[in-house]
Each structure stands twice: as structure tokens, then as C-alpha cells.
Chains A and B, each alone.
Chain A
Amino acid sequence: MQKYSIFNLVKNAFSNHENWDLAWKDPTPKEQYDVVIIGGGGHGLATAYYLAKEHNITNVAIIEKGWIGGGNVGRNTTIIRSNYMHDENGLFSEFGMDLWRKMSQDLNYNVMFSPRGIINLAHSDAQMNAYARRGNSMRLNGIDAVLLNREQVKEIIPMADFSENVRFPIFGGLMQPSAGTARHDAVAWGYARQADSMGVDIIQNCEVTGFDVVAGKIKGIRTSRGNIKAKKVGICVAGSTNILAEKLNMTLPIETHLLQACVSEPVKPVLDNVVTFGAGHFYVSQSDKGEMVMGGDLDGYNSYAQRGNLPTLQHVLTEGIAMMPFLSKLKMLRTWGGIMDMSMDGSPIIDKTHIEGLYLNCGWCYGGFKATPASGWTFAHTIAQDRVHELNAGYSLNRFSTGNLIDEKGLGTKTWIS
């Protein structure tokens, strides 16, 4: 594999950049693999990369129905954070933050990780108390957290509405300074390029149509490009989890929902943090191109549409304008939607299943992108060692029947009762 460096950039300039290697190949599926990962999104690509890098398992295929980076890894709002209260989420996400900090060097690919900080706004005394508690829990887990009062918030984001007569006045906020954003496509491409260079087959335009399970053990998968034998299979398909589960006669604590995001026209730099509205569900950051990147609630009903509906967008942007009135002056450039695997407690599942050799990674709800490296790392460990790592032990599939739910304010499928 050609290293991406200033030296190679200059060298290739002399041949008009026509002689670069392909970043990843387009192989035909082999008959058999040690591990097949279904789903070529961020999590699937990261899993394959860490299988090869950490566990030396390179006879691996990634089976992708569409194309690399075409699903949620290219549809999210690129926010990276670990501002969780509970140990399961906090320790897992903070482990991921370390991987994010090293990612560009590790992958030899500029993922443009920008630790610009995230501020969750508080709009009441009760919310300030809750944020103080969450911030303390975070600091006990080694995660940076700063509780800001109204004046401190005003200094950082003076464009927010600090006038006297607002419905939801800003009391303060909780900031995680090390949180931030990254270029989402680059994350997918960087993992794909490295996984490919270590021998992983990335097979695109190949849909999984069934599974071969014999005596409770996985033997292989059936695809639109023929049958593939596999010793182990990992499912990592986000919004298509329910569809594959049905082929396995499994019913999961997952519902498939639609989440929208949108960007405004590009404007001069105005916002250098990620900011969330505390009296509803709205968040905003500014991309390097200058677009305001915004998102919020689910559309609210089961959906596979990958495109949004206007009432939800209107609702979300109303909250945005309440928080930062200047947003009302901006024209909307693009809106889009992705289909989310919403778990019932708002936290994910990375676990073995009742079928030997079959592993499940799903339930990422609103927060799949930031989890990409930690999810790949722990899922690779779970598959390679056939046991969960302590970091994903809390993300078990049976926690719903045993009552060990994670009581984070992650918001599962039932947004209408939140």
C-alpha cells in the first residue's frame, strides 16, 4: 500500500496524480472465510480492521449490500463525545476517544478529528443539578467535564438567545472540552483502505439473503453473489438489523426508525463548538465548509425510508431558532435521513447470540458514529476471542430480559413518552 505523505503527494504530482493505487480493491467473494462481517459501514469496516490488526485474523470478508460509506456512516452529523453518566457508556466511549485521538496517524488517513468541545445547555435549576451529577460521574471515570454558569456560556456562545423574555432561558451548561467532530467519510475510507491492505476482502453490491445454521452453529451465509462459508459471522448492519434477524428467526429489542439531519448554506465561522438544546432535542455544529450541521428527533414512527418528513424537521428547527435566533436567517442547503436501529433502552448491543459463531452489533440509536472505533475494537475482540470484553460486557443482548437495562438518558424508540 502506498503511504499517504507529502513526499508521495509531490512525487505523484509529476504524473498528474494518475498513478495512485486504488484505496481498496474490488474482489470476487472467495468460497470460505474465517470471519464474515455483514455490513460495510463504519462499524463493520472498523471491526475488520481491528480483527486484522489486534487479532491477526486476515481471512475476513466484509459483505456490503450497497457501497462503502453509503449508509449511516455518511449520513450522520459527525459528533464525537463521551459525556455519559453510567459506567457502561462512559468507559466504553472514553476508550473510543483515545482511538479517535490517534486515528489519523493509525490509519495514515486524515480523518480531520477536531476536538472542539460540546456544550449541553441547561434551562432550569433542576437541569443544572442533573448536569452537575453527570459531570461528576464523568470525572470519576476520567472524562473531562466542566460545569458552566450562564456568564461562562455567554462568553463561549454569545449568539445564543440570552435575552430576558425567552421561554427557556439559559441557566448554564455542561461542557466536555475534548469532544468534537470528524470527517465521517474519511473514517469509512480510512478503515476500508487499511483493512484492505491487510488482506480483508471488501465485497460491495452483495446482499445477504440467508444464513446456513446447522445444529445451532453458523456455517455460512447466502448472498446475491453466491454462498459463502464462514466459521464466524458478525452482523453490523444498523437499520437493517431487524431484516436480518427475521431471516434467523430472532426477534430483537430493536425498532427501525428514521432520523433526519440537515445543513444550512455555508456562512463565515460563527460557532466553534457543538451545542445541544436542553429543553428539547436539537444540536448544531459548524462544518469546516461553514455549513451549520443540525439534527434532532426521530420522525417517530417505524420507517425504512432513508428520507425524512417535514413536520419533524420543522419541529427540530423551531427548537434551533429558540436556542440561536440567527439560524432563522439561513437558507437550508440539504436535508437527508438515515434508518436507525433504535434499542429499547437507548444503549447498544455488542454480544454473542444463541447461535454459535454468530455475533451481533446493533442498537446504536442516535450515537453510532462516535462509537465507530470502540465498537469495531470490542466487536473484533468479541468475535476473535468468542467472549465479550469488559468494555462491552454491559451491552449484552439479555439485559432486557434480566432487567439490567442501562438507565442513561439515551432515549430508545419511545420518544413519544420522553
Chain B
Amino acid sequence: MLYINCPHCGMRSQNEFSYGGDATVKRPVLNKEVSDQEWDDFVYNRKSLRGKHLELWQHISGCRQWIKVERDTATHEIFRTFKADEEVA
């Protein structure tokens, strides 16, 4: 069981959350021509590495906010959590 520290609600169990994937993916800016490759990278291509991974979760059975979680994909250790609009240093 993962325990995720929701920045809005505090420590809650994994069952209350839904996973949302890589949080570092950036949607292409739409006020310019966007190439197929850029769309491809945004929609499909992922690094998905072993080790630290910044990812989105939604506290779906709690405050329903999207949050960012920094987690190790090999050990499942959770280092830090952030609000969705918080910049991650």
C-alpha cells in the first residue's frame, strides 16, 4: 500500500487516489505550427525511467484535486508531493 501525502488533505492511502501519468510532459503551445513529432512526444512518447519519477495523481475519493508526486519507480518510496500548479525545483 502506498501512502500519499495530499498537499490539501494530509496523509491518505493509495485507494483514495487515481494515477495520471508523467507530470513533466508539456502540451505544445497552440499559437504556432505544431509538428507531428511534437504531438507524438506529447501524446505517446514517455521516458518512464527507473528511479525518481514526477507524476500526477488525482485525490479522487478525497478533495478531487490533481497533485504531483515525486516517487521512486523501483522502491515506491515517495519523496515529496506538490499542488498541481506548484513549480517543482
Contacts and interface: CB of A to CB of B under 8 A. Distances in A.
Interface of A: 242-243, 246, 251-256, 300-305, 309-311, 344, 400-402, 413-414, 416
A303 B21 contact: no
Contacts of A402: 36
Given A301-B55, A344-B44, A400-B40, A309 B1 contact: yes
Contacts of A255: 21-22, 46, 48
B48 A254 contact: yes
Given A311-B14, A311-B15, A344-B44, A305 B76 contact: yes
B73 A303 contact: yes
Contacts, number: 74
B19 A243 contact: no
A336 to B, nearest CB: 16
Given A309-B1, A311-B1, A401-B37, A251 B76 contact: no
A310 B1 contact: yes
Given A243-B49, A255-B46, A414-B21, 7 more contacts: A242-B48, A246-B47, A251-B47, A255-B21, A301-B55, A344-B43, A400-B40
Given A253-B44, A256-B48, A416-B20, A302 B55 contact: yes
Contacts of A256: 48, 50, 73
Given A251-B45, A256-B48, A311-B1, A302 B53 contact: yes
Given A311-B15, A413-B21, A416-B18, A302 B40 contact: no
Nearest to B40: A401
A-B pairs with lowest CB-CB distance, top 7: A253-B44, A401-B40, A251-B45, A242-B48, A400-B44, A304-B50, A255-B48
Nearest to B46: A255
B1 to A, nearest CB: 6
B40 A304 contact: no
Interface in B36-76: 36-37, 39-41, 43-50, 53, 55, 71, 73-76
Contact of A416 (B19, B41, B50, B53): B19
Contacts of A401: 36-37, 39-40, 44
A252 B45 CA distance: 5
B56 to A, nearest CB: 10
Interface of B: 1-2, 14-15, 18-22, 36-37, 39-41, 43-50, 53, 55, 71, 73-76
A353 to B, nearest CB: 14
Most buried by A among B21, B44, B45, B75: B44
Contacts of B21: 255, 302, 413-414
B18 A242 contact: no
A243 to B, nearest CB: 6
A395 B66 CA distance: 34
A308 to B, nearest CB: 11
Contacts of B45: 251-253, 400
Most buried by B among A301, A303, A310, A344: A301
18 contacts: A243-B50, A253-B40, A253-B46, A255-B48, A256-B73, A302-B21, A302-B48, A302-B55, A305-B75, A309-B1, A309-B2, A309-B76, A310-B1, A344-B43, A344-B44, A400-B44, A401-B44, A413-B21
A142 B39 CA distance: 38
A302 B74 CA distance: 9
Contacts of A243: 49-50
A246 B53 CA distance: 15
A400 B42 CA distance: 11
Given A246-B47, A252-B45, A305 B15 contact: no
A344 B40 CA distance: 11
A242 B49 contact: yes
B74 A254 contact: no
A303 B19 CA distance: 12
Contacts of B37: 401
A214 B20 CA distance: 38
